[in-house]
Amino acid sequence: MSLITQKPNYSIAGGDTVFAGVQPKSLKMSVQVKYSSILTADVSSYLEQSLNGVDWNSLPGTMTLLDKTKPSLLYNLNTQPGIFIRVGIIQGTDITGVIDKIDYLI
């Protein structure tokens, strides 16, 4: 297994966003989104997939509210080799907080 780490240090106040995708070579992977300073429960994370790294679609069942009492969110996935995966963030209004790090364990 290998670890790919992104450190976006992204301020959630900047609005909805998606981060760079990765292309796992294995059938199983874990994605951990680490965050801090989220004061409300109005921030969601989700995963997207792509066959070519250009055209993206949401992965059904991955939309999850970030729990402000925890430091991270973990996704465990069964994937197909060659498919790209990336993390997206949707925030409500007047939200603060930071997406500190995204770890892909492939």
Residue 82's pLDDT is 84
pLDDT band at 27 (very low <50, low <70, confident <90, very high): confident
For the stretch 57-80, pLDDT in tens is 999 999 999 998 999 999 999 988
Domain limits for position 69: 3-105
For the stretch 82-102, pLDDT in tens is 899 999 999 877 688 999 999
Q: Which of 13-22, 34-43, 49-58 has the lowest mean pLDDT?
A: 34-43
Q: How many domains are there within the chain? A: 1
Select the more confidently predicted residue: 27 or 73: 73
Cα angle 85, 89, 94; round to 5: 175
The structure's pTM equals: 0.92
Look up the CATH number of the domain holding residue 27. Answer: 2.60.120.260
CB atoms within 10 A of CB 69: 7
